Structure 1
Amino acid sequence: MKSKHILAIRFSAVGDAAIAVPVLRCLLQQNKNLKVTVATKSFLKPVFETVEGVEVVCADIRGKHKGLNGLLKFYGEIKHQKFTAIADLHGSLRSNVLKTLFLFNGVSSKTIDKGRSEKRKLVSGKMFKPLKTTTERYADVFRALGHKVDLSGDVFPPPQQINAKTYSIVGKDTKKWIGIAPFAFFDTKMYPLDLMEKVIAYLSRTNNYRLILFGGIKEEAELKRLSETYQNTTFTFGKISFEEEIKLISNLDLMVSMDSGNAHLAAMQGVKVITLWGVTHPYAGFYPYKQPESYGLLSNREKYPLIPTSVYGNKAPGGYAAVMRSIPPEKIIQKIEEVIKSQPS
């Protein structure tokens, strides 16, 4: 059988890229004579490289591949790879331009159905039911290209090996490793820091856990303050590369996260994930991959009946600024200890 070569396109963002990982893994596990190359931003290359067999080509969309002329240049750099089909997992203007260019060379494509009309109904209150997951939407693109993608047959890889530098940060003791990603891009998706600090303080006092905080440059000062205030607590930003951070996440016993990228970086590797939800809701299709429904702690919808007010957390009506305060820190602590105790020692 002649081998096929698919170009999968997904330029952003971290969470969306991570959601695609199990789909790509199943695709390659379940289809012979298939090669997959992913076109993405260089920052996301380590995410896709967790999938054995996937090759990555990086588009510098802020630099030399910016705009139409840049995309023409990017096309010229990759067209020699003789792709037989395009899987557009993004559905953006950039991916549409690339698909058109490849179509001139006879390379057909399939594009993700984002379910925009259903999502509009969900956030407008006209409908309240679970929508198709983003993972399944990605899988449908490859199915439309004629390939098997059975997510029930997914085989998670073992935890990745972490280097000595990472161990020097987190230590090698026998404590359970709990990742905590306390930040989100939008305030209405972020659990109030004063309440999260109560969770961190309690877990720190037990002396049973190694708490590893995740965040970015905007949160560096808070990450440093929390790690210096509470024992058994550290953070990784600026200390190790994003690639090493992904490897570290694969070794966690548990990740606690908002509805954000870190939840998906953990879930794609088979790590247990507790998620905290504000004005967004799992029904929109972004619940972390293969996580039990009970691991999602939702804001009080009886008190805030308009939830979900948006798909991505960027819109909230007046009076909804404190929506996540309806999740008591005691409830988070209880769920963390419940999940940790349910795991083999």
Structure 2
Amino acid sequence: MKRIIVTRFSAMGDVAMVATVLKAFQEQHSDTEIIMVSRSLFAAFFQNIPRLKFHPIQPKGMHKGVFGLFSLFNELKAYKPDAIADLHNNLRSRVIDGLFKSIRVKVRLLDKGRKEKKELTRTKNKVFKQLKLTTERYADVFRQLGFQLQLDHQLQKEYRLIPPGMMPILASDKKKIGIAAFAQHVYKVLPYAKMELIIQTLANKGYEVLLFGGGEQEKQITENWAENYENVHSLVGRYKLTEELDVISHLDLMISMDSSGMHMASLVGTRCLSLWGATHPFAGFIGYGQSNSDCIQVDHPNRPSSVYGNKSCLCDGVEAIDLISPSMVLSKVEEIFSPK
């Protein structure tokens, strides 16, 4: 067995994308073992990948600071790895890289494509073109380590157990639509009034609508929606991340911002309609196996303003995400489920 340590500490969507690549890698290489290093919350993404051991990093605890990273290095060194695949390329991961290089372990790290992403997001003279997909950038690291890796960019349905309490909903004959209405940055979030109208309309049409998210504020919002409309269910705070993945695997469709909801859908092979405002699929962050035709957005020369959605993106005085209307989303849903 060749043993590879893979590092990617955050963010949630990026780590989920790593999992899709590692699934493909392990299918193509039966002689490899992977040690995945990330935050303990994200262990759920890697549970069904063969010959993979998850090693948690605690950046605010025992692995904090330089001495903490040295402690992490000693933990990882005990695995006697053949190579390090740095899929993060940040300060923490590069410290670990340097320590492994000092003991002559082969290291390759992610090329984030900063130059072309800056050209795509700058205010003037944008170079507006499709950039390499992030999943292909991850795959390149393994190729640089000497491994062949082909990504087919096709959704692969993963059938999982139904969590306790979800059988009546997921086993019904109704079409089931998940909605991840939130994101880390406000410029990626469809205004709540518009999202509520989408939820209300879908519920009135007889769809089962399942709401995903995290945090107390999101829990309050989704529970209010669930109380107001029949066929709407809030899952926020009810299930662990692995159980949420179980639920998503049984959905007929996911609706998500450009956020982790899209990548979680990809991980279990569920089709996703994604909504894009300040960001753009051209930056390479579309979910693995998802289609550009399922990206809902309004073209404007100011878009995108950023890769991660952390900057305002005004289009004729309106935030880019606010250019998306509920009818655009609802029309696409009807198109998907209408008899062919």
Q: TM-score range by the shorter chain?
A: over 0.9
Q: 1:171 to 1:249 in 2, by over 3 A?
A: closer
Q: 1:55 to 1:341 in 2, by over 3 A?
A: farther
Q: How many Å separate the matches in 2 of 1:95 and 1:338?
A: 44
Q: 1:82 to 1:151 in 2, by over 3 A?
A: same
Shift of 1:171: 5.3
Q: Provide the TM-score with structure 1 as the length reference.
A: 0.93
Contact (CA 8 Å) 1:179, 1:256: kept in 2 or not?
yes
Residues 1-345 of structure 1: pairs in structure 2 closer than 5 A: 3-124=1-122, 125-152=125-152, 156=156, 158-167=158-167, 170=169, 172-207=171-206, 209-217=207-215, 218-301=217-300, 305-317=301-313, 321-341=318-338
The number of residues matched between the two structures is 336
Q: How many Å separate the matches in 2 of 1:187 and 1:299?
A: 17
Contact (CA 8 Å) 2:162, 2:247: kept in 1 or not?
yes
SS of 2:148 mapped into structure 1: coil
Q: 1:338 to 1:53 in 2, by over 3 A?
A: farther
Shift of 1:167: 3.2
Shift of 1:321: 4.9
Q: How many Å separate the matches in 2 of 1:155 and 1:333?
A: 23
Q: How many Å separate the matches in 2 of 1:326 and 1:72?
A: 48
Q: How many Å separate the matches in 2 of 1:148 and 1:7?
A: 17
Q: 1:11 to 1:326 in 2, by over 3 A?
A: same
Q: How many Å separate the matches in 1 of 2:309 and 2:153?
A: 32
Shift of 1:164: 2.1
SS of 2:162 mapped into structure 1: coil
Q: How many Å separate the matches in 2 of 1:23 and 1:342?
A: 33
How far does the alpha carbon of each residue in 1:26-78 deviate from its partner, in whole angstroms, 9 at most, with x for none? 11111231111100010111112232332110011111111111111122222
Q: How many Å separate the matches in 2 of 1:254 and 1:173?
A: 15
SS of 2:53 mapped into structure 1: strand
Structure 1 unaligned regions, length at least 5: none
SS of 2:60 mapped into structure 1: coil
How far does the alpha carbon of each residue in 1:9-40 deviate from its partner, in whole angstroms, 9 at most, with x for none? 00011100111122111111112311111000
Q: 1:171 to 1:48 in 2, by over 3 A?
A: closer
Structure 2 unaligned regions, length at least 5: none
SS of 2:61 mapped into structure 1: coil
Contact (CA 8 Å) 1:254, 1:271: kept in 2 or not?
yes
- What is the identity, as a one-letter code, of the residue corresponding to 2:268? Q
Shift of 1:153: 7.9
How far does the alpha carbon of each residue in 1:320-339 deviate from its partner, in whole angstroms, 9 at most, with x for none? 55322322211111111222
Q: Provide the TM-score with structure 2 as the length reference.
A: 0.94
- What is the identity, as a one-letter code, of the residue corresponding to 1:63? G
SS of 1:113 mapped into structure 2: coil
